[in-house]
Structure 1
């Protein structure tokens, strides 16, 4: 077989279902090898959209999503989605084409050093300059991408190497070994700290969801009445309907969850990724004792100095910690008032004639969605509200990018989620993020996807305006104009709605249960 055939066969062996990408001259051999394989190539409208699809696929399934581009501009278009996966700890394997090796030693059409360009946004990346290394490189790319902490890897396949023959065969995916066991001494220290604490609190991060520690975490909370706050990407690890859930910490100095952290005399941080929230954004007093539970040691940070670090498999650590402290019982009186305030802020019942706001729309959206349905949020002011006010009941059902936090993820991410899960999917986005990758609506219709796109429109880069107003008392460079979103959606053959009353909004959001793709435009003030 050729190197391209071998790469396609390796993707089959890894269990890859889809490769999201854009065709080009330099990846032609691989495209035809994919055509003859069991892997489905999904041609997208922009490489960034393909990378976001692979990113969200990895986030939702835990298996590496795969994206493909050609050389030069195709590879650089891919870069943003690859970086997003890398900082969000989502497993992703990127494959890029390249010109023939014989022309890469001098300046050449569309040729740049892609491997060097991808260096800072991948765990590992390499040029496949010999057909006989393809099988090893693919296996390594998937192994490193999916190993805790997950992230992005990259393979570059020059067009002349792709056509060369090889007698190598795909390597089997070795069974993943159990994660490392926590130190008994570290567990004992954590147990002692909890025994001495009067107001301990658990901070749940992305790692608790990613490593499937949530079942043990729920057992811990149920047994001890420990309150829980989550980061944006830790939502759903503990059901927000649980009276011990204090929802999410905000990126600022207000909110009930922040107040809970201020009151706490011990914080047990489970799977906390520092790329998501700087410690000084949620830890009011750096002197508060911290227990760091994660697969990697704590980042060196002036405001995050743990009393003890339990560096081991997060799920295994949570299980063994629960076994040690399940007889502990903590008084819920110190946070019950905060839970009540949070519940009141979430249960917004806006007047029928009131202008739409994101806060007022979310209760209706939650009402329309089953607990297992998936919400993919774009980045913008609406993301902050979704992260803080959208109750999430199951892990990996509220997908928020808060590591790299790139706009434009929702529409393509909704496609990947729709392909990956059995439940319904909603892509929630602002008008700015929507138009960044709106062309992927054509991809969605071609794939016969059935998900809902909710577009909050304010004709503005709203979050930036808010920050400018807060710092300067005015805003500049943020106002925009928009097309007719109803007409735009219908040009793709998509049913679209622009509700004007709360009753019409509830009716429009009921389309979440439909098997067809729909778009709901919600003007917000």
Structure 2
């Protein structure tokens, strides 16, 4: 007869069964039985300095691996601090599971210390949200949380673990989570309908979304583009889905406002093929305001139909399988002459932009010069994790990547503070590669306390900070709307001293010519490095002007 197990043992054995290597969080009295059980398990518990950042790290693990990362917090404010991290992961399509402590079931309706109706609080920001309410439901709730987080369009799950059920005898055994089903291609009828629409197109465009950057989907997308010759644009989250040999077909990334060459291409399109796209990435009312193009929706889930997104055809199935099947049905598209001219002109403009970048020799440093220097560093063994801010737009529009999920960008919630936690996740998942996380000085202090976590873990993480002393992205938009700014300024932080106070290395870049050498030095130094520089944001208004390149006739 097997020994009786308590609830916490079922939880931890479930995590182990599901391949979890790390759990990120902060302990407390209502969840300490789970922490005590983790101490003797193969799973590494990483103590964080804020629950929100624990959730960010778990979401980063999920995005990089496709398997749910795990965050853990105690009851009350510990759980409520997970909210932003869960909302971010759910919007971004990143699989993660959060475990939260709770008061004993007999006290759940009483106003006592750290009582919180956590399921009610977190249900709106999760795919799956449940409380373990009996000793015999522990395993099934855990299994369903992971299954939901990782299946279909991935997202966040939350499980509430009452103290008495964790400490008491469990009445169940750990359940296996079935490997997610591998879906085949969409129906033959939908594939033939999609191919028929493309056959008569002269200005078709592929719009890549967040699921396009999954490596298995990216490979199928590349084969489809090579066969069809269809031009392509991508949302910020689709970064890296287009390979270097197809760059000539790529009109760039779109997002925020319809003011890029990619937006112009979409406006002129007669057919738009969306692949793994979610409206949260870039509102269809912006990029499809004309509503003249036929939309082919390729995804594993049905479209969210609205006035500006009503597909003519839905190809529903495994994205990679559907694209492979569609590739067999299509012939190379003969594009309209003005589309060919569009790409010739765009290539010329890109070349000029790179040449102009070297002319920015003053300090503070112009963003285009920084992006140009970063482009030189973006080898296949570098992962870049971006925070939110004006700097993020410069990078999203002008830093090119040809490896899926090489650049991590917050696109759904556009959450401040994600870069450093995602950088920690990248270092753990890709220990033999370089990780560069980047934030503005506004977003940096949202999660800067996790520098101590990075130091404790001895991670070789370089975190770059663009300094201007304001929430500039807000300032530019306020100036455009109200002809003045408000609430956007804050005081300075000595980046070098801050780093040294945590046992890390701090470096400053004083001129554009120092960017390359200081990056090299930062990556050679063992342990975490903060790398600061002052930035000239005088041209940021150009990022928000609603104008096109006017490359199409």
- Could you tell me the TM-score, scaled by structure 1's length? 0.97
Equivalence map 1:202-221=2 (5 Å) = 202-210=206-214, 212-221=216-225
CA contact (8 A) 2:215 2:405 kept: no
Superposition pairs for residues 369-448 of structure 1, below 5 Å?
A: 369-421=378-430, 422-448=432-458
Count the aligned residue pairs: 525
Contact 1:230–1:247 under 8 Å retained in 2: yes
1:309-348 matched pairs, under 5 angstroms: 309-328=314-333, 330=335, 333-336=340-343, 337-345=345-353, 348=357
Structure 1 residues 219-264: Cα deviation after superposition (integer angstroms, max 9, x where no partner)? 1112222111100001111125621111201321312111221232
Do the aligned partners of 2:461 and 2:529 also contact (CA within 8 Å) in 1? Answer: yes
TM-align CA RMSD: 1.6
What are the residue-to-residue correspondences of 1:5-20 with 2, within 5 Å? Answer: 5-20=9-24
- The reply to whether residue 27 of structure 1 matches residue 44 of structure 2 is no
- 1:512 and 1:217 map into 2 onto residues whose CA distance is 36
Question: Quick check: 1:224–1:330 contact (8 Å CA) kept in 2?
Answer: no
Shift of 1:165: 1.2
Partner of 1:524: 535
- 3-state SS, counterpart of residue 216 of structure 2: coil
Runs of 5+ consecutive residues of structure 1 not aligned to the other structure = none
Note if contact 1:250-1:281 (Cα within 8 Å) is conserved in structure 2. no
Q: CA deviation at 1:121?
A: 0.8
Q: Distance in 2 between matches of 1:268 and 1:405?
A: 25
Name segments (4+ residues, structure 1) moved above 4 Å: 326-332
Determine which of 132, 138, 142 is the counterpart of 1:138. Answer: 142
Question: Residues 425, 455 of structure 1: CA spacing in aligned structure 2 closer, same or farther, 3 A cutoff?
Answer: same
Deviations 1:25-73 (A, max 9, x none): 1111000100111111100000011000001110111000000000110
Question: Deviations along 1:330-366, whole A, 9 cap, x unmatched?
Answer: 4661432224324543563233335312222011122
Structure 2 counterpart of 1:360? 369
1:295 aligns with 2:305: no
Q: Which of 237, 247, 251 matches 1:233?
A: 237
In the TM superposition, residue 402 of structure 1 has moved relative to its aligned partner by 0.6
Aligned CA distance change for structure 1 residues 275 and 343 (closer, same or farther; 3 Å): farther
- Cα separation, 1, equivalents of 2:46 and 2:335: 52
The equivalent residue for 2:71 is 67
Deviations along 1:92-151, one digit per CA (max 9) or x if unpaired, are 101000111222222111211001101101111111122221111111111111001111
Go from structure 1 to structure 2 and tell me whether the alpha carbon gap of 1:308 and 1:343 turns closer, same or farther (over 3 Å shift): farther
Residues 282-315 of structure 1: CA distance to partner in whole angstroms, max 9, x if unpaired?
2252112211111122212211222212122211
Which residue number in structure 1 is paired with residue 499 of structure 2? 489
Matched with 1:475 is 485
Instruction: Indicate the SS of the match to 1:25.
Output: coil
Partner of 2:541: none
1:473 Cα deviation from its structure 2 partner: 1.5
Instruction: Return 5+ residue gaps in structure 2 as ranges.
Output: 537-553
